[in-house]
Amino acid sequence: MKATIYTIIALIAFAANSLFCRMALAEGYIDAWSFTIIRLLSATACLIFIMAIHAYRLRRQTSNHDSAAAHAILSDKGSWLSSVSLVIYALCFSIAYVELDTGTGALILFSAVQLTMIGWGIYKKEQLSVLQWLAFVVAVAGFVYLMLPSAAIPSPLAAALMAISGVAWGIYSIRGKSCVSPLRATGFNFVRSLVAVPILLLVGMTYLDNMGLKNINLQSITTEGVLLACASGAIASGLGYSIWYTAMPLLKNTQAAIVQLCVPVIAALLGVVFLSEQLTMPFIIASTVILGAVLVFTLNKKVVNKNTAQDSI
Scored b (16 or more CB within 10 A) or e, 66-84 reads: eeeeeeebbebebbeebbb
Residues with Cβ within 8 Å of 54's Cβ and at least 6 positions away in sequence, in order, are 183, 184
The residue count of the chain comes to 313
Indicate the DSSP class of residue 219: G
Helix axes 182-193, 32-61, angle to 10 degrees: 140
- Cα Rg, the chain, nearest whole Å: 20
| Angle 31-33-9 from CA coordinates, rounded to 5° | 95
Question: Quick one: CA dihedral 87, 92, 93, 94, positive or negative?
Answer: positive
**Mean pLDDT, consecutive 10-residue segments, the chain of 313 residues?**
88 87 80 85 93 85 69 82 89 73 73 88 85 90 80 78 91 88 90 86 64 60 92 92 91 88 84 78 86 86 41 35
Residue 63: the pLDDT is: 62
CA nearest to 270, candidates 2, 1, 38, 21 = 21
Amino acid at 108: I
Check: CB of residue 268 under 8 Å from CB of residue 22: no
Instruction: Determine how many CB atoms are found less than 10 A away from the CB of residue 115.
Output: 15
CA nearest to 4, candidates 259, 174, 184 = 259
Q: Calculate the CA 164 to chain-centre distance.
A: 14
- Dmax (CA) of the chain: 63
Residue 306: the pLDDT is: 40
Boundaries of every domain in the chain? 2-126+155-262
Residue 102: the pLDDT is: 62
The model's pTM is 0.80
Residue 93: the pLDDT is: 79
Residue 214: the pLDDT is: 53
